[in-house]
């Protein structure tokens, strides 16, 4: 049944010091409570009946925050007399054996990106023109030959304080940890003092097969048979689920 396997591996010192609840998991385990409580029927049609929306919540895997991460963003720093951006991480069980790839280091170079690296990007203004924090990820991700991974904040379910900067990595040949710069939601939080707690949903990992594509443009008329059938179908409850949708399996 399963043609492909994605492997998440981390240093033994790290794996030996965390609980299984901190492992990567299928993202379908992170469906939000508000969505679960929705109803969908002929009298009340909601997003609960939209299979494309459900697919965003269930496609791929979830990486969680590896440890507590304390942030003071755009907070006035009396010592240097200016607005500052500062983050540091807490100890994980007091153990420093696995400092290599999670935020147990005082080296600021490895934890932030200089704003000039995103000059002109809307991310920069949203981040209050301050350095971008980098979340160091302990997991190496391996996919079969020809498969890459898209890394995004959990789709339709991201944390309102921050998002990661999306990226695609050819994880079939890249044999290192993939780290994640984040953008603070300055549109909502002018100043932010917070702790991103260990276990917070962080990244949605979506494997996909690399293919070459060519674009084609065509026309159709609204009175075409196909167009008429489509308009009829889309008015029926669950028609997309029953006629067009394919179940995807992620374990």
CATH number at residue 106: 2.70.40
Residue 161 has pLDDT above 60, yes or no: yes
Task: Characterize the bridge pairing of strands 167-169 and 112-113.
Answer: unpaired
Quote the DSSP letter at residue 128: T
pTM of the model: 0.85
CA distance 152 to 169: 12
Residue 112's alpha-carbon distances to 68, 117, 141, 154, 201, in angstroms, are: 17, 11, 22, 22, 20
> Per-residue pLDDT for 235 more than 70?
no
- Compute the distance between CA of residue 207 and CA of residue 200 in angstroms, rounded to an integer: 21
Residue 47: inside a domain: no
Span 114-160, pLDDT tens digits: 899 999 999 999 999 998 988 888 899 999 999 999 999 999 999 99
Whether residue 28 lies inside any domain: the answer is no
Give the model's pLDDT for residue 84: 62
43 occurs within a structural domain: no
For the segment 89-93, the average pLDDT, to the nearest whole number, is 48
Point out the least confidently predicted range of 37-41, 54-58, 210-214: 37-41
> Contact at 8 Å (CB) between 118 and 73?
no
Residue 190 belongs to domain spanning: 7-22+61-217
Residue 193 lies inside a defined structural domain of this protein: yes
Would 113 be classed as within a structural domain? yes
Q: What is the DSSP letter of 96?
A: -
What's phi and psi for 53, nearest 5 deg? -70, -45
């Amino acid at each position: 049944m399963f043609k492909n396997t994605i492997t998440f591996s981390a240093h033994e010192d790290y794996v030996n010091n965390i609980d299984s609840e901190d492992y990567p998991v299928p993202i379908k385990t992170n469906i939000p409570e508000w969505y679960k409580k929705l109803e969908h029927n002929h009298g009340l049609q909601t997003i609960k009946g939209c299979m494309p929306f459900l697919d965003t919540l269930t496609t791929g895997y979830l990486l969680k925050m590896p440890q507590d991460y304390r942030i003071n963003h755009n907070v006035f720093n009396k010592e240097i007399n200016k607005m500052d951006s500062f983050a540091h991480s807490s100890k994980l069980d007091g153990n420093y054996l696995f400092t290599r790839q999670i935020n147990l280091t005082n080296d600021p170079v490895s934890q932030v990106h200089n704003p000039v690296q995103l000059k002109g990007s809307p991310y920069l203004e949203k981040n209050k023109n301050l350095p971008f924090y980098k979340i160091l990820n302990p997991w190496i991700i391996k996919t079969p030959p020809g498969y890459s991974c898209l890394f995004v904040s959990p789709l339709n379910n991201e944390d309102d304080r921050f998002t990661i900067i999306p990226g695609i990595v050819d994880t079939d040949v890249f044999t290192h940890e993939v780290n994640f710069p984040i953008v603070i939601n300055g549109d909502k939080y002018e100043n932010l003092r917070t702790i991103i707690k260990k276990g917070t949903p962080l990244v949605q990992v979506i494997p996909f097969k690399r293919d070459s594509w060519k674009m084609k443009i065509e026309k159709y008329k609204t009175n075409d048979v196909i167009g008429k059938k489509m308009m009829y179908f889309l008015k029926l409850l669950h028609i997309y689920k029953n006629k067009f949708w394919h179940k995807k399996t992620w374990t």
